[in-house]
Structure formats: structure tokens, C-alpha cells
């Protein structure tokens, strides 16, 4: 399966001078702007470079190929969501498990909704670009924070196993993605949030109950 063997998505070199750092930042922003104004299949390396005010050659000095660029932008987006989740995990320490889940899931959903446009656009391009790897990394990262948080719940004898937490995260991130792409109304998104909380709470309750 040659399409699965994707490994080299790291930036080609790291900026050491200040103008280079500026350049990379400009390329990042230009990518998102081109994505919005021209759409995914008119996102051209030349267009991104133009918009960033540099030449294509410069772009290729920092990103080995177009995929690496998109990968990096996608990664940045998911990192921002992860930070919000981790902050919620910190705040919810010591609360009852159901309240924990509520707070974390709501933080996740809110973060996604705030950046709904970017999220939809990025998922569209990320799939063909090694995005699955980023999603996996993000789930592991958030899963760790959630596991640690659940360890402080007074009403839980032992936290659920890692796998259950990861499935839960895969489920809500998948569900979220599907609904966002369908372009839900604000009312639908509110109901979605409420139901994702229910889904996670009931699943966690079941999983922690059936442990011995």
C-alpha cells in the first residue's frame, strides 16, 4: 500500500533568522486565506506564495511539498483544539465524573464550532495528506489528559482503560466532523453538543461500571 507509506512531512528547514520566521508565518496565513477564497482545488503553491508575498522557491525552502504545507496547517489547528481540551481537564479535576465529561466535551465542541469553517476546510484537504496521523496523535494526547483527569474523580474507583477513552474521542471527533460538514444550524449545533455530552457520559458510565 504505497499510499499509506507517508513519513516525511516535517518542514524542510527551520528558520534561523527573523525574516525567515516572518516568511513562514506569512505562508501559514496565506494558506488558510487561499483555502477560503479559492477553495481546496484552487489552492496552488504559487497562489499561496503570491498571497504570502514571496516566490514559490521560498515556499519550497521550508516545505518539501504541498502536502507538507497542508499537513502543518492542519496540525496547528488540531493543536489549538487540544490545548482547549487540556485546559478543561485541568479545571475539572476533582469533580464528579459526569461533570468532568460534560466540561471537557463542551470545551471540545465549542473549540470546534468557533473554528468551524477552518475545521471543515482543513479536514477536506487533510485526508489526502497524512491527516490521519495527526488525528491519531491528537487523540492520544487528549486521551492522556482525560485519563489523568478521570483519575481524580471521587466517584470513580478506577479510571476507564485507555482504549475506551480513545474510542470515545474518535467517536465524538468523527461525529463532530460529519455534522459540521453537513453545515448544521446554530440550533442543531446546540443540540449536537448536548447529545455528545450524553453519549460520552453514558458510555463512560457503562465502561467504568463493568470493570472489576
Partner DNA sequence: ACCTGAACACCGTTCAAGT
- How big is the site for DNA, counted in residues (CB under 7 A)? 25
Site string for DNA, 26-55 (x = CB under 7 A): ----------------xxxxx------xxx
Q: Is 94 helix (H, G, I), strand (E, B) or coil?
A: coil
Q: Please answer whether residues 125 and 69 qualify as being in contact, where contact means their C-beta atoms are separated by less than 8 angstroms.
A: no
Q: Which of 104, 107, 149, 164 binds a copy of itself (CB under 8 A)?
A: 164
Q: Which of 20, 28, 38, 60 binds a copy of itself (CB under 8 A)?
A: 38
Q: Which of 10, 13, 36, 117 binds DNA (CB under 7 A)?
A: 13
Q: Which does 55 bind (CB under 5 to 8 A by kind): DNA, a copy of itself, none?
A: DNA
Q: Please, is 104 exposed, middle or buried when counting C-beta atoms within 10 Å of its C-beta (0-12, 13-18, 19+)?
A: buried
Q: Please answer whether residues 42 and 49 qualify as being in contact, where contact means their C-beta atoms are separated by less than 8 angstroms.
A: no
Q: Which of 59, 168, 189, 208 binds a copy of itself (CB under 8 A)?
A: 168
Least gap, CB of 48 to a copy of itself (angstroms): 15
Give me the half-sphere count of Cα atoms (radius 13 Å) on the Cβ side of residue 34.
Answer: 24
Q: Which does 175 bind (CB under 5 to 8 A by kind): a copy of itself, DNA, none?
A: a copy of itself
- The verdict on 124 binding DNA (CB under 7 A) reads no
Backbone angles phi, psi at 94, to 5 degrees: 90, -15
> Exposure pattern of 180-193 as b/e (b: 16+ CB <10 Å)?
beeebeeeebeebb
Q: Is 157 helix (H, G, I), strand (E, B) or coil?
A: coil
Residues in the chain: 212
Q: What residues between 50 and 109 interact with DNA by CB under 7 A? A: 53-58, 60-61, 64-67
Residue 129: DSSP 8-state: G
Distance of alpha carbon 79 from alpha carbon 71, whole angstroms: 12
- The verdict on 150 binding a copy of itself (CB under 8 A) reads no
By the criterion CB under 8 A, which residues form the site for a copy of itself?
1-4, 35-42, 67, 117, 120-121, 123-128, 132, 135-136, 139, 163-164, 167-168, 170-179, 181-183, 188, 191-192, 195-196, 198-199, 201-203, 205-207
Amino acid at each position: 500500500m504505497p499510499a499509506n507509506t507517508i513519513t516525511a512531512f516535517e518542514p524542510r528547514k527551520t528558520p534561523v533568522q527573523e525574516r525567515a520566521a516572518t516568511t513562514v508565518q506569512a505562508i501559514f496565513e496565506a494558506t488558510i486565506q487561499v483555502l477560503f477564497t479559492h477553495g481546496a482545488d484552487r489552492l496552488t503553491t504559487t497562489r499561496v506564495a503570491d498571497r504570502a508575498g514571496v516566490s514559490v522557491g521560498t515556499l519550497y525552502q521550508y516545505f518539501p511539498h504541498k502536502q507538507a504545507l497542508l499537513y502543518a496547517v492542519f496540525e496547528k489547528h488540531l493543536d489549538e483544539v487540544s490545548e482547549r481540551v487540556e485546559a478543561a481537564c485541568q479545571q475539572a479535576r476533582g469533580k464528579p465524573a459526569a461533570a468532568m465529561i460534560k466540561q471537557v466535551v463542551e470545551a471540545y465542541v465549542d473549540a470546534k464550532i468557533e473554528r468551524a469553517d477552518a475545521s471543515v476546510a482543513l479536514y477536506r484537504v487533510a485526508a489526502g495528506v497524512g491527516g490521519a496521523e495527526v488525528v491519531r496523535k491528537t487523540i492520544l494526547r487528549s486521551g492522556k489528559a482525560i485519563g489523568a483527569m478521570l483519575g481524580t474523580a471521587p466517584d470513580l474507583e478506577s479510571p476507564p482503560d485507555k482504549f475506551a477513552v480513545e474510542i470515545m474521542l474518535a467517536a465524538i471527533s468523527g461525529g463532530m466532523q460529519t455534522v459540521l460538514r453537513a453545515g448544521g444550524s446554530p440550533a442543531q449545533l446546540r443540540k449536537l453538543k448536548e447529545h455528545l455530552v450524553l453519549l460520552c457520559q453514558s458510555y463512560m458510565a457503562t465502561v467504568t461500571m463493568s470493570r472489576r
